[in-house]
Structure 1
Amino acid sequence: MRQVLYHAGAGLRRCPVALMVALAFQGAKGYAAEAIEFNTDVLDISDRSHIDLSQFSQAGYIMPGKYQMVIRLNKAELPEQTLAFIKPDNDPQGSQVCLTPQVIAQLGLKASALRDLMWWHNGQCLDTVSLPGVTARADLGESALYLNVPQAYLEYTADNWDPPARWDDGIAGGIFDYNLNGQSSRFTGASRRDVQSLSGNGTTGFNLGAWRFRADWQGQYNHTRGSMNNTQRDWQWSRYYAWRAIPSLKSKLMLGENYLNSGMFDSFRYTGTSMESDDNMLPPNLRGYAPEVVGVAKTNAKVTVSQQGRVIYETTVAAGPFRIQDLNTAVSGTLDVKVQEQDGTSHSFQVDTASIPYLTRPGSVRYKLAFGKPSDYRHDSQGPGFATGEFSWGVNNGWSLYGGSLLADDYHALAAGIGRDLLALGALSFDVTQSHAELPRDNTKTGGSWRLSYSKRFDEYDSQVTFAGYRFSQRDFMSMSEYLNVRYHGIVGNNNKELYTIAFNKQFRSLGLSAYANYSHQTYWNRPDNDSYNLSLSRYFDAWRFKNVSLNLSAYRTLYNNTSDDGMYLSLSLPWGNSSTLSFDSQAGSTGNSTAVGYFDRLDSNNSYRVKAGAGSRGNAVGSGYFTHQGNSAEMSVNASYEGSRYHSVGLSAQGGITGTTEGVALHRVSTMGGTRMMLDTSGVSGVPVRGYGGVTETNRFGKAVVSDISSYYRSSVSVDVNKLADDVEATRSVVQGTLTEGAIGLRRFGVIAGEKAMVTVRLADGTTPPFGAVVMGLGGHQAGIVNDGGQVWLTGMNAGEAMRVVWDGKTQCELSLPKPLPTATDNLMLLCQSVRA
């Protein structure tokens, strides 16, 4: 039985609004299995035979053909791709989306569901009847296919995490990321001198399919002019490497120069191949521990984190406590940290990137394999070839076994351990490593090392022991890096003895107080001890008319290579207005004391500044300023500090990148050097504000932007800030999503229409008008308007000189050419529609 749409009352005159409303209510019921017949008698038009409502006869009808659409699977979104709409064999007037085997492979269906699939159209399209409950609905206006699949058919998912079938390797393209820091200082008094420095590091490379090819670079320039002139220059390509994800194994394959990533053996540089389980591919609740660096800067300072000469991370920080938490989780071993103050002083310390207990889910195996030859920063091989492997096996819910070996010609090490989930008491692991090294002159060293690790979150006490560990090594125990230094360079290593480490945080919610502490104590067999601790307390409270007043106390101590650096920092902050803060700071340390009053203001989501003024330990006036700007092309900061009669200094830093693909090129901010990013397309419309998890970025003159605050293997969303769109721009699709593999260049397209809006009249070459209900399509494939009686159309997205297509009877019938320039008064504009040649 066919449905007939009737309307009692006034006819629809020169406006299809009532018709559209009626159709919307009809279409809300879902896909109609039967055609809808319209009663055209209710339409007050002169020629009822000159009407094309065929596209409305079925709810959600899409004319057969190919369309670029994103697939919105339940709450997730798959990349934009070409989808074909085909006439079903049993319904020549209908249209159905063709879900190809390639599309189905992206859904993440369970093996049991895949076995039940049936196909039509010569095996090219899924028959959704084979999966009861599956529905598909296309929206041409949003260029999206809404696909609803019962969760029972799908692999495990978590919040913002998708199974491997939905991971996106991105598109081919090249990248160049950089981080630059410049500083100019003048010191007065007895040590009068001028110092200029420029340092930088970054990553360049390209993507091809699932492969990521990268090269790291670093450079430094220092010039001192005074009693002694001195200039130092250094530039090097520090590392060449390539990698790709192996999703089926939850693993990462890497080739080239690398640093051994191991939970059992110390890290060293080598050239070769590695294959290892990648925790980043696991759901967030199963991922591991990332190292962090904490400290206190006495002035505006540059903090450099390096490992065996390679700069891993470099940034500038404002005076006060700092905490670096965005180091790569693949970093392992001992890190060297150098803090260079603007007053000319510097201090260094080391951070041990110890990991949480080596536990694995029941029945699962985690592994790391590597082989190659040790190498140095000049890319030369040194030492014998080696092979190493380690694993962790989850025996059951409580126990894990792990072990590994590192084998070379004159060196080998074996390790074995056990991990225990203590449930309410936390997690504990214990392992033993035995090394054997053959050195020149028949000198053989054999020794052992024992390690105990513990981690626990005490929810009932709002506290967490992030990591606690103890390690003891015998005098003759040698790591691979120590063996290489002695065997090939004659350098006697540190000869570690004992290492204590702990990281702890605690929340006192009733007091509004939080506490954080970390401590490291390293002893040696042949040199003085090293010590490091950092304690911070933070409390929020209300006082008088001020809300959320903040009181912070930090204390630190570093004893490194017989050089001690101790200090304390106290800060009181008062909210001042909507985005400003007034602060009082006091700092005491081994190099002097200072007290200052400061002011911070966030101008908008992309700009902020802080200024301070006060007195130093000698009564000298001190002051500093720090301005940060998150631009579309880079993140930049300018800073300055001075202390009367001692020094004054200014600094500049810039961090950004350039990404180029066949889809376009864009300058942009960068989060992780060589890391994951998403290129965004706004159909050639410039100045469109888009946002990931950071500040707003505007598309360039070509309608392209790159957002780099994207996490690998994590469902990330990027949106158009519709509140900041220009008056002549509208977004038909303002949110995109993607789950990208590590290092990928994702591509997503927003539905953006720019141009004038006006009521126009369309005429055909013979003087007649297109039929009522004909659709006008814009240059980008968007629906720009629907023809009303008399050829009138409310047209959107009008740009001078562009062409638009008029479609009826299932195909393009003619084209409109918009005048160049557009008339100032666009209402009642007459446009001629030229026939399209067959």
Structure 2
Amino acid sequence: MTFPVYGAETQDDKSRDYARNIVEFESELLRLDDGSKVDLSRFSYGSSASPGTYRVSIRVNNNEVAQEDVEFKVGEDNYVYPCLTPRLIQLINFNEDKLPDDVKQALASPSTCGNLEKILPSSKFDFDSNEQQLDIEVPQIYVNRIARGTVNPELWDSGIPALTLGYYANAYDSQYDSGGDYRSVYASLNAGLNIGAWYFRHNGGYNWQKDVGGEYNATNTYVQRDINAIRGRVIVGEYNTTGQLFNSIPFTGAQLASDERMLPESQRGYAPEIRGIAKTNAKVTVRQLNTIIYETTVTPGAFVINDLYPMGYGGDLEVTVQEADGSTQQYTVAYAAIAELLRPDTHRYSVTAGKVRDSGVSDEPMFYEATYRRGLTNLLTLYGGVQASENYQAYQLGLATGSLLGSVSFDATQSHSDLGGNAGKKTGQSYRVSYTKLFDETNSNITLAAYRYSTKNYMDLLTALQSRDAVRDGYDPNSIWRSKNRFTVSLNQGLPETWGNIYVSATLENYWNGNTSYNKQYQMGYSNTWKRVNYSLNVGKSKTSTGEEQTNWYVNLSFPLWDGWDTRAPYLSLRYNQDDQGSKNEQAMLSGSFGENNKYTYNLSAAHDSNGGTSTNVGAGWTGSVATVNGSYSTGKGYNSTSLGLSGAVVAHSGGVTFTPHNSDTYALIEAKDAKGAKMAGYAGTTVDSFGYALFPSLSAYQMNEVSIDPEGSSINVEFENTSQKIAPRAGAVVKVKFNTNKGTPVLITSSFAGENLPFGAEVLAEDNTSVGIVNQSGAIYARVKEDKGTLLVKWGNDVGSSCKVNYMLAPGIDESKTSYIQQFSSPCNPVQGPASPNGSRTELASVH
């Protein structure tokens, strides 16, 4: 008996000095009495694939680069390898400056079907047929470095032509003991039409009230298209400006703006560059709040790390460089992020031209806006913008900086407004400063502190238009509120050990229109956990510009009704609140969920109010295969009310119409014929319908998403060739993902040939020469057949004597069901007359190592 040999290398064969690990199998173990054997030579270099062309996902050094048709050919010793074509060379992205001369020459004029492992012996590949994935590994020194999380734009999928409609509807009815009632219906719609790379969108809502009537209001109607080269998007129609530097303005026109989602994950948001010098081959470790967030090895000399993932708003970075000789360097890189900060050498932009679209003003002039931000260094980001209209201009310039003291941004805006009439022209300025910092030593996190001061004559665009309307109608332009000072702060303070957390937030704003006119809101709270109980104490104080002032106190407790943090355990929540006017309210609520993926939800509550008496409420929700339904009923002193809600989406495509209970902007349309009832992993109610389709929601645009299907729930007569695929959809796309299925009845046939068991591992082919099964260890045939009767070919070699045929006939009267069953019977395997298999090629896939 010979055991598999791992690591053997063909040292004496010059043409195989790129040798891979060899595994030798003892075929005598599978030998028949007549001397015939099963040919196992093609498995010597790992399991093999038949030569042919396959559609595969290509990864280079663990980075997804493309989905392409790749040809596989047979080399020496039945060794199967992928052809190295100019296209594959392009995808590998070689660093030609680092390649050896002979490799560079070979790549410059590749052969018709070259073998990468012969050309560059230190490289290797691995093909997984189950995932349809080809992994290529090339020493990092020979390829151009790309940022972590990079997805090749060639993989961004615009999807299929489709019509989408997302909806939410709610009906409300309230009856009063006095005889009155109130009824209303509201529905919002998000419609889309995708044609190639062009996406048409419409958003709107319908509102109906008894005795008032109904009205539909369109929010936005536009068409968009991505532009890969500038990592941005063009939008034409009714939309809104980005609101990055100036207040957001609804417009009818065109916009060109960058989309951060098109960047690699490690290039989004803000994170500083880390630079240093290594004396040897060193390991660089980056920690934030004592947690390792990045680790890599660098070669001797200067290094730079510029692909850290965004890490929230604070926490300085501790860098450790561990040299090969054991010595270390340690230093700190400041990190605190605000919205204006960008990574070095990155930028964001937007350009808009259109008419102001606002129902609150009568004058809707043309206006133009352009904004730009650029990261210069770790410490400095510059930004600025301009807004211009016929009677209004505004210019902004600002800078943001990050340091050990925190991140600060400062900008100034100059506005020029022509109000017409006696009001004339007004010029003013607005100054804003923002600050954020996490103090590691005290666990104090100033999430955001911002102050804005505006001079008396400063106006933003909409304020200027409203003031022009007032002047035109004969009113004082000072009747339009103009902000003077605005201050906001949000602070979180973690307490030592298990003492919990304190937060404080405040907003103060006053106006030029009156010395006593201002808004103010304060909130302060404490939260903690004791065993299974979450509890919090909160106090809030507010005063509006009309002079109304109120203080509220809140106490909240929540905990599961039994041990553990099981999501199925019902939660009991208790709340008490009181205000300074003497009003008091107590409430108890029991809520939870059950069923597969928590598809059923419920809540029961009772409350007592010092002004309104006692009230009770019961609510329930259900996520079905078509829509999500929820409803509630409540009753209290002098009233009772009922509500009913419905939400979901529908997508029309070339294969029909598919429903989903989940609203989303981007979908994967699953096609799995004959797999009715199969589920989408993680989404309640999402199953393959009777037409073979389902919708997989909530995909991340421009990033690789794994789309999985769970065969549970489908017929046992259906077999999936694979259950998981990866896609990178564009924002708003409907990407079709096809899961190939084989429908047939599973059979287990006890058989023999020439009085002996069939050889283990022999292939089983249907009459159309497709592979339908295999011979198991006991010599029985396991196969999945499509016809009620027919003939199977069992093949374990290339000569006539190494194959036989088995006739079968299924038992009648067995209906398809989701119950697992296999038809079992006995049938002899008869000698084959003529060629062992029909002419033609098959595409059987296995794993190539």
The answer to whether TM tops 0.5 is yes
**1:550 maps to 2:540:** no
Stretch deviating more after TM superposition (269-278 or 93-102): 93-102
Q: How do 1:439-838 residues align onto structure 2 when only pairs under 5 Å count?
A: 439-441=419-421, 443-487=424-468, 490=472, 493-508=480-495, 510-526=497-513, 528-542=517-531, 548-560=532-544, 562=546, 567-577=552-562, 578=566, 579-589=569-579, 592-604=583-595, 605-606=597-598, 607-618=600-611, 620-645=613-638, 647-662=639-654, 665-672=657-664, 675-682=665-672, 684-692=674-682, 695=684, 697-720=686-709, 733-749=722-738, 757-760=746-749, 774-776=762-764, 784-787=772-775, 792-796=780-784, 819=810, 826-828=823-825, 830=827
Q: Give the direction of change, closer, same or farther, for the CA distance of 1:743–1:749 in structure 2 (3 Å limit).
A: same
Give the letter aligned to residue 219 of structure 1: Y
Cα separation, 2, equivalents of 1:665 and 1:25 = 53
Q: How do 1:212-291 residues align onto structure 2 when only pairs under 5 Å count?
A: 212-223=199-210, 230-282=211-263, 287-288=268-269
Give the letter aligned to residue 745 of structure 1: V
Q: Give the direction of change, closer, same or farther, for the CA distance of 1:80–1:133 in structure 2 (3 Å limit).
A: same
| Contact persistence 2:608–2:615 (CA under 8 A) | yes
Shift of 1:79: 7.0
| Unaligned 5+ runs, structure 2 | 11-15, 271-336, 815-820, 841-849
Shift of 1:40: 5.2
Shift of 1:220: 1.2
Give the letter aligned to residue 551 of structure 1: Y
Q: Give the direction of change, closer, same or farther, for the CA distance of 1:477–1:119 in structure 2 (3 Å limit).
A: same
Q: Which has the larger radius of gyration?
A: 2
Of 141, 155, 162, 1:174 maps to 162
**1:434 maps to 2:410:** no
Q: Give the direction of change, closer, same or farther, for the CA distance of 1:28–1:802 in structure 2 (3 Å limit).
A: farther
Shift of 1:212: 2.7
Cα separation, 2, equivalents of 1:385 and 1:757 = 69
Q: How do 1:34-49 residues align onto structure 2 when only pairs under 5 Å count?
A: 41-49=28-36
| Unaligned 5+ runs, structure 1 | 1-6, 9-21, 224-229, 290-354, 543-547
Aligned to 1:530, the other structure's residue is in SS state strand
Aligned to 1:118, the other structure's residue is in SS state helix
Shift of 1:26: 9.2
| Contact persistence 1:177–1:670 (CA under 8 A) | no
| Contact persistence 1:101–1:125 (CA under 8 A) | no
Cα separation, 1, equivalents of 2:798 and 2:460 = 73
RMSD: 4.7
Shift of 1:591: 10
Deviations 1:160-197 (A, max 9, x none): x334447522422324243423233324255x422222
Aligned to 2:247, the other structure's residue is in SS state coil
| Contact persistence 1:463–1:507 (CA under 8 A) | yes
Shift of 1:27: 11
Deviations 1:749-776 (A, max 9, x none): 5577776543226899xx9999985534
Cα separation, 2, equivalents of 1:474 and 1:593 = 43
Cα separation, 1, equivalents of 2:792 and 2:552 = 70
Cα separation, 1, equivalents of 2:716 and 2:69 = 31
Aligned to 1:828, the other structure's residue is in SS state strand
Q: How do 1:342-361 residues align onto structure 2 when only pairs under 5 Å count?
A: 356-361=338-343
Q: TM-score, normalised by structure 1?
A: 0.74
Aligned length, in residue pairs: 731
Cα separation, 2, equivalents of 1:602 and 1:64 = 52
Higher strand share: 1
Q: Give the direction of change, closer, same or farther, for the CA distance of 1:122–1:133 in structure 2 (3 Å limit).
A: closer
| Contact persistence 1:357–1:429 (CA under 8 A) | no
Give the letter aligned to residue 95 of structure 1: V
Shift of 1:275: 2.2
Stretch deviating more after TM superposition (780-789 or 600-609): 780-789
Q: Give the direction of change, closer, same or farther, for the CA distance of 1:828–1:220 in structure 2 (3 Å limit).
A: same
| Contact persistence 1:26–1:59 (CA under 8 A) | no
| Contact persistence 1:181–1:651 (CA under 8 A) | no
Cα separation, 1, equivalents of 2:370 and 2:251 = 15
Shift of 1:554: 3.8
Shift of 1:540: 0.6
Cα separation, 1, equivalents of 2:520 and 2:572 = 35
Q: Give the direction of change, closer, same or farther, for the CA distance of 1:268–1:108 in structure 2 (3 Å limit).
A: farther
Aligned to 2:212, the other structure's residue is in SS state strand
| Contact persistence 1:813–1:835 (CA under 8 A) | no
Shift of 1:151: 4.7
Shift of 1:259: 0.9
Give the letter aligned to residue 645 of structure 2: S
Cα separation, 1, equivalents of 2:182 and 2:386 = 49
| Contact persistence 1:431–1:452 (CA under 8 A) | yes
Q: How do 1:399-418 residues align onto structure 2 when only pairs under 5 Å count?
A: 399-418=380-399
Cα separation, 1, equivalents of 2:115 and 2:539 = 64
Deviations 1:725-762 (A, max 9, x none): 88777767444444433223344455777765432268
Question: Could you say which residue in structure 2 is the equivalent of 1:371?
Answer: 353
Shift of 1:384: 3.6
Question: Could you say which residue in structure 1 is the equivalent of 2:307?
Answer: none
Cα separation, 2, equivalents of 1:508 and 1:95 = 62
Cα separation, 2, equivalents of 1:799 and 1:522 = 78
Question: Could you say which residue in structure 1 is the equivalent of 2:331?
Answer: none
Cα separation, 1, equivalents of 2:119 and 2:352 = 45
| Contact persistence 1:776–1:783 (CA under 8 A) | yes
Cα separation, 2, equivalents of 1:818 and 1:105 = 53
Give the letter aligned to residue 96 of structure 1: Y
Give the letter aligned to residue 587 of structure 2: A
Shift of 1:816: 9.4
Cα separation, 1, equivalents of 2:660 and 2:791 = 32
Shift of 1:655: 2.6
Of 179, 186, 194, 2:174 maps to 186
Q: Give the direction of change, closer, same or farther, for the CA distance of 1:484–1:456 in structure 2 (3 Å limit).
A: same
Q: Give the direction of change, closer, same or farther, for the CA distance of 1:60–1:238 in structure 2 (3 Å limit).
A: same
Cα separation, 1, equivalents of 2:268 and 2:383 = 18
